[in-house]
Chain A
Amino acid sequence: MLCCALLTLVANAAPLRIVTTFYPLQIATLNITSNAADVVVSNLTPPTSGCLHDYQLTPADLARLAHADVLIINGGGLESFLEKARRTAPRAKVIEASAGIELLAGNPHVWVSPELAARQAENIGAALAKLDAQNAELYRRNAAAYAARLRALTEKMRAGLKGVAARQIITLHEAFPYFAREFGFTIAGVVEREPGAAPDARELADTIKLVREQQVRAIFVEPQYPTRSAEAIARATGAKIATLDPAVTGPVSAEAYLQIMENNLAELQRVLK
């Protein structure tokens, strides 16, 4: 009985199982595979995990990995925790979303720039089209459309941030160099060199000095991390606390990344105007 059920399942379904390693790739892939037949997109890590440098795989994640046909990774060292685990998915074809994107000092947070997120979407679309001939045309079209929306957003954000006078910002961890470069900000410093680990007294004192000397207007925290250290710096310097979201957690919907960046735009305009 059970055997029969399993057989029908295999015969009927056999969809292309695409597994993305983390949230922003999942959102991009949802856009690219929109309306595609026989495709299942799932994310390796829960959409609450945040940046993967904190991540520990659970058995459920490994099970998803083992069943993957296609594994979409960010690359740039973000998935170093996955090296061993990838042996459990020998048949999965791996797509590296950041292929061809030049890294700044080995920093993997490329998706935080909407322009580079568009490049990632194009990469994913082209690679998927090669792997799945049946839907190839659709992937290319979807990827081009989504990349166009991301580029339009980039233009909108560039225009919206043009009038902002304060150009020096401090962020919580090193997630924003690509974002800053895109929109002409300078990251004067980061609060936590190791995300999640509190800075020691020397680092804290240095950051406070930096905020005063460079007259940094705002310290940007991230919704995924505790804000105690940033608050202490704000107390000492009178700088404002604001939230800048690196788009690593959120609702699983195709519009999510665009929405997060719209919020970032509004927040930057609010505190830096």
Chain B
Amino acid sequence: MNLWHQLIGSLPGEWAQLEFMRLALLAVLLAAPLYAVLGCLVVNSRMAFFSEAIGHAALTGVALGTLAGLADPTPAVLLFSALLALVIAWLRRQSAVSSDTIIGLVMAGAVALGVVLLSRGGGFNRYTHFLIGDILTIAPGELARLAALALATLLVWGLLFNKLFLATLHPVLARSRGVNVWAVEALCSVVIALVVAMSIAWIGLLVINSLLILPAAAARNLARSTAAHLAWALLFSFLAGVAGLLISFYAATATGATIVLAALLLFLLTLPFRRH
């Protein structure tokens, strides 16, 4: 950790002299590969709406954590999001209604519940920092948690990549090969939910989903293979994260949303190179 501070502290620019910027940069670098990897998954398996729903529904997790008297509602958010991911996965299998309808109604229900719980006593505005997020005040302890989550996610992803890939591309073939499609899908939903839930305090639940899908979508414009897709997504994710952080410092804007705009810009720049 000291090494990191020394290393970044030797860079030019006012931001590099500030401890909170160095910590925020580390957070961005830890989270970027996570978003890239999961983003590819989300984009390929058309789960963008699902991750959006999880991000918004995290509001209810915040509410439940606050009601339970937790000073930091993150554990409640993690638990609630994971549970919700399983509920959505289960409903998708059970119900005759199409999947986007299921996700839509679960999201609306969860957001409404969150607003109702938080507005009891009329103080909803006090929770706006969860809508915008705040990566600048990330504490060393939270960085450790983020690193652990990143490690666990990459591990699951590495172990299950082939099965996951097959299950999303060709469920019937996957089933004939003995892959438990539902279990794989559910696990992957839970991992996405955990990453989204963990990040909302830093990025804000209004824009968290775009960090997941924009770099992967931009990468898809350029990539000709699965490996290239991943590589481009990683590059864009890092690029948008670092650029957004630095721009937000000099422009005095909310960091999470600035990172999202940087990612959107990358997407627009890659649009002309799209393969038809």
Residue numbers of A with Cβ under 8 A of B are 45-46, 48-50, 53-58, 61, 196-205, 208, 224-226, 228-229, 231-232, 235-236
Question: How many Å lie between the Cα of A225 and that of B128 in the bound state?
Answer: 11
Write out the residue numbers on chain B whose beta carbons fall within 8 Å of the beta carbon of A55: 122-123, 125
B10-33 vs A, Cβ < 8 Å mask (1 yes, 0 no): 000011001111001000000000
Question: How many Å lie between the Cα of A231 and that of B138 in the bound state?
Answer: 10
Q: Are A201 and B249 in contact (CB under 8 A)?
A: yes
Q: Are A229 and B134 in contact (CB under 8 A)?
A: yes
- Of the candidates A196, A204, A235, the one having the most CB atoms from chain B within 10 angstroms of its own CB is A204
Q: Are B122 and A58 in contact (CB under 8 A)?
A: yes
Write out the residue numbers on chain B whose beta carbons fall within 8 Å of the beta carbon of A61: 122
**What's the nearest-Cβ distance from chain B to residue A221, in Å?**
12
A–B Cβ pairs within 8 angstroms, 9 of them? A54-B124, A55-B125, A201-B248, A201-B249, A201-B255, A202-B250, A205-B20, A208-B20, A226-B126
Say yes or no for B226: interface residue by CB 8 A criterion.
no
Given known pairs A198-B134, A201-B255, A202-B249, the reply for A235 and B19 (CB within 8 Å) is yes
Q: Are A208 and B18 in contact (CB under 8 A)?
A: yes
Specify which of A45, A48, A54, A198 is in contact with B136 (CB 8 Å cutoff): A198
Question: How many Å lie between the Cα of A232 and that of B21 in the bound state?
Answer: 11
Question: How many Å lie between the Cα of A50 and that of B196 in the bound state?
Answer: 31
Question: How many Å lie between the Cα of A58 and that of B24 in the bound state?
Answer: 38
Q: Are B125 and A56 in contact (CB under 8 A)?
A: yes
Q: Are B252 and A203 in contact (CB under 8 A)?
A: yes
Question: How many Å lie between the Cα of A48 and that of B24 in the bound state?
Answer: 33
Q: Are A196 and B122 in contact (CB under 8 A)?
A: no
Q: Are B137 and A228 in contact (CB under 8 A)?
A: yes
Write out the residue numbers on chain B whose beta carbons fall within 8 Å of the beta carbon of A203: 252
Q: Are A54 and B21 in contact (CB under 8 A)?
A: no
Q: Are A200 and B254 in contact (CB under 8 A)?
A: yes
Say yes or no for B121: interface residue by CB 8 A criterion.
yes
Say yes or no for B175: interface residue by CB 8 A criterion.
no
Q: Are A45 and B255 in contact (CB under 8 A)?
A: no
Question: How many Å lie between the Cα of A236 and that of B255 in the bound state?
Answer: 19
**What's the nearest-Cβ distance from chain B to residue A3, in Å?**
34
Say yes or no for B169: interface residue by CB 8 A criterion.
no
Write out the residue numbers on chain B whose beta carbons fall within 8 Å of the beta carbon of A57: 122
Say yes or no for B129: interface residue by CB 8 A criterion.
yes
Say yes or no for B180: interface residue by CB 8 A criterion.
no
Question: How many Å lie between the Cα of A205 and that of B136 in the bound state?
Answer: 10
Closest to A194 in B: B128
Q: Are A196 and B126 in contact (CB under 8 A)?
A: yes
Write out the residue numbers on chain B whose beta carbons fall within 8 Å of the beta carbon of A45: 122
* Chain B: interface size category: 20 to 34
Q: Are B119 and A236 in contact (CB under 8 A)?
A: no
Say yes or no for B253: interface residue by CB 8 A criterion.
yes
Say yes or no for B139: interface residue by CB 8 A criterion.
yes
Question: How many Å lie between the Cα of A54 and that of B255 in the bound state?
Answer: 23
Say yes or no for B187: interface residue by CB 8 A criterion.
no
Q: Are A200 and B252 in contact (CB under 8 A)?
A: yes
Q: Are A232 and B136 in contact (CB under 8 A)?
A: yes
- Of the candidates B19, B128, B137, the one having the most CB atoms from chain A within 10 angstroms of its own CB is B137
Given known pairs A202-B249, A205-B14, A236-B20, the reply for A196 and B125 (CB within 8 Å) is yes
Question: How many Å lie between the Cα of A48 and that of B254 in the bound state?
Answer: 29
Q: Are A231 and B137 in contact (CB under 8 A)?
A: yes
**What's the nearest-Cβ distance from chain A to residue B138, in Å?**
8
**What's the nearest-Cβ distance from chain A to residue B136, in Å?**
6
B109-145 vs A, Cβ < 8 Å mask (1 yes, 0 no): 0000000000101111111110011101111000000
Q: Are B15 and A201 in contact (CB under 8 A)?
A: yes
Write out the residue numbers on chain A whose beta carbons fall within 8 Å of the beta carbon of B249: 201-202, 205
Question: How many Å lie between the Cα of A198 and that of B253 in the bound state?
Answer: 11
**What's the nearest-Cβ distance from chain A to residue B236, in Å?**
22
Specify which of B119, B123, B253 is in contact with A50 (CB 8 Å cutoff): B123
Question: How many Å lie between the Cα of A273 and that of B259 in the bound state?
Answer: 43
Specify which of B14, B15, B126, B134 is in contact with A225 (CB 8 Å cutoff): B126
Write out the residue numbers on chain B whose beta carbons fall within 8 Å of the beta carbon of A226: 126, 129
Specify which of B129, B132, B139 is in contact with A232 (CB 8 Å cutoff): B139
Closest to B127 in A: A196
Q: Are B20 and A48 in contact (CB under 8 A)?
A: no
Question: How many Å lie between the Cα of A56 and that of B134 in the bound state?
Answer: 24
Question: How many Å lie between the Cα of A27 and that of B250 in the bound state?
Answer: 45
Write out the residue numbers on chain A whose beta carbons fall within 8 Å of the beta carbon of B15: 201, 205
**What's the nearest-Cβ distance from chain A to residue B123, in Å?**
5
Question: How many Å lie between the Cα of A202 and that of B246 in the bound state?
Answer: 11
